[in-house]
Amino acid sequence: MNYRIKLFLTTILIAFVGLAKANVILPAIFSDHMVLQQNTSITIWGWAKALEEVKITVSWDSSKEYKKVTDVSSYWSFNIETPKAGGPYQITIQGYNTIIIDDVLIGEVWLGSGQSNMEWTPAMKIDGGEDEKTKANYPQIRFFTVLPWADSILQKHLTGKWVVCTPESMYHFSALMYFFGREIHSKRNVPVGLICSAWGGSPAEVWMHESIIEGNQTLKQSAEMLKPVSWSPIKPGSLFNTMVYPLAPYKIKGALWYQGEANTSNAIHYQQTLTTLIKNWREAWDYEFPFYIVQIAPWSGYGRDNVNGAIVRDQQRKVANSVPQTGLVVVSDIGNLEDIHPRNKLDVGRRLAAWALHHDYGVAIPFSGPLYQTHEIKKDKVIIHFRYSEEGLISKDGKLKEFEIYDGKQWHSMPAKINGATVEVSTKNISTIKGIRYAYKNDSNPNLFNKAALPASCFEVLIDR
């Protein structure tokens, strides 16, 4: 039997043996060394014998006791107010047995999910990984890795445990999440809890509830375009059921998403797919938390006979432009055209942190590269306006490249130049303008940045005139 299956079934068996003995049982996400979101109402839940009284006390408010009787399903939950960042604290849960959770910190909690670039650890080799390992002594940063497991049925339990950030634990945790969390910790001086729930090679469809896809003809047909692979499930909902649903409603500040490489076969539907996924997750948690997206990097392995990788990147841009409380991190300048797993995770984490620091923590720092906003068609040129270009645009290595104009039949590579905060693309000798695009190849190597040295996203705009 597959090791993952054995491990998960063993965990579930232990859990249900516990239920048979009527002991209070907690989800794995509640354990020693955990971090709870500060200054909010959190939910602590679990199971016990039906109609058993369960009591909770928390050391940050020891004068108060929470208690209730479980319902007939044996489920119980409490809503508890958390203070400002601090700790360590202790939580005591008492029924027929007593559970004490020690070394609990209050701070900021972030969830990261997606494919292998999200789960990629320093041990799997990253730029500067060995040096970073020696510096990773941060007792106020905590990690929780959800062990991979897929199933067609919604699960109550998952497998994982909270660990303190040490050189050894950092070495085997998501590198970009660590760098993200370190930035938040150092800039805000608060404890940070990082939950990584990712599976290499997984398409987006497995990370949302199956019924949503089954109930939408477009998404259903799109999911049917996915081809079976040996390294990941492709059945819709199969990872949502086991690696996302059991986490809710554990309070998080926000989510980080690095995924899309596995959706190049149905790239044209990715905007709708990811938009639906975000909505599904927010409904599961019952609030609109921030959701920050890492745009996939250009890669030659997608092939030169298509632009599917560019389509996914552009669809991600459209999601960030249309869905509230989202942001886009562009990594076209720090990728590797010959490696689908870019080894520079430090800058990815920092750029994600910049979005969070600016939007969620009120820190006035640059956080985004230029994003297409609108365009004007003049006599012999198209003038393109960008968001996040107020201080001006720059080219990092000579003349601008990878701007194209569509005449209704084919795309033409055209010269372009910067004019302050805009780009002017020549339309000389093109009588009909039906579209404009930038960096729209699988193996793009674009060079447009803003003055904060953050790269512009690719885009394609078709024009009906």
The three state secondary structure string of the chain is CCHHHHHHHHHHHHHHHHHHCCCCECCCCCCCCCEEECCCEEEEEEECCCCCEEEEEEHHHCCCEEEEECCCCCEEEEEEECCCCEEEEEEEEECCCEEEEEEEEEEEEEEEEECHHHHCCHHHCCCCHHHHHHCCCEEEEEEEECCCCCCCCCCCCCCCCEEEECHHHHHCCCHHHHHHHHHHHHHHCCCEEEEEEECCCCCHHHHCCHHHHHCCHHHHHHHCCCCCCCCCCCCCCCCHHHHHHHHCCCCCCEEEEECCHHHHHHHHHHHHHHHHHHHHHHHHHCCCCCEEEECCCCCHHHCCCCCHHHHHHHHHHHHHHHCCCEEEECCCCCCECCECCCCCCHHHHHHHHHHHHHHHHCCCCCCCCCEEEEEEECCCEEEEEEECCCCCEEECCCCCCCEEEECCCCEEECCEEEECCEEEEECCCCCCCCEEEECCCCCCCCCEEECCCCECCCEEEECCC
Q: What angle do CA 407, 408, 409 make, to 5 degrees?
A: 95
Q: Which two tokens stand for residue 287?
A: 């609030």
In this prediction, residue 71 carries a pLDDT of 87
For the chain, how many residues are written? 465
pLDDT attached to residue 69: 94
- 156-198 confidence digits (pLDDT tens): 999 999 999 999 999 999 999 999 999 999 999 999 999 999 9
Identify the bridge partners of residue 65 per DSSP, sorted by sequence position. Answer: 57
- Which segments in the chain show pLDDT lower than 70? 1-22, 465
**pLDDT for position 166:** 99
CATH of 3-102, one of 2.60.40.10, 1.10.10.10, 3.30.70.20, 3.10.180.10: 2.60.40.10
pLDDT at 21: 47
CA distances from 401 to 129, 320, 445 (A): 33, 24, 9
Per-residue pLDDT tens over the stretch 266-324: 999 999 999 999 999 999 999 999 999 999 999 999 999 999 999 999 999 999 999 99
What is the CATH code of the structural domain delimited by 106-361?
Answer: 3.40.50.1110
Distances (CA, A) of 262 to 7, 145, 206, 265, 411: 26, 21, 11, 7, 27
Question: Amino acid identity, residue 307?
Answer: V
How many Å apart are CA 310 and CA 312, to the nearest integer?
A: 5
What pLDDT does 465 receive?
Answer: 65
Query: What was the pLDDT predicted at 22?
Result: 59
In whole angstroms, what separates CA 420 from the centre of its chain?
Answer: 33
pTM score, whole prediction:
0.94
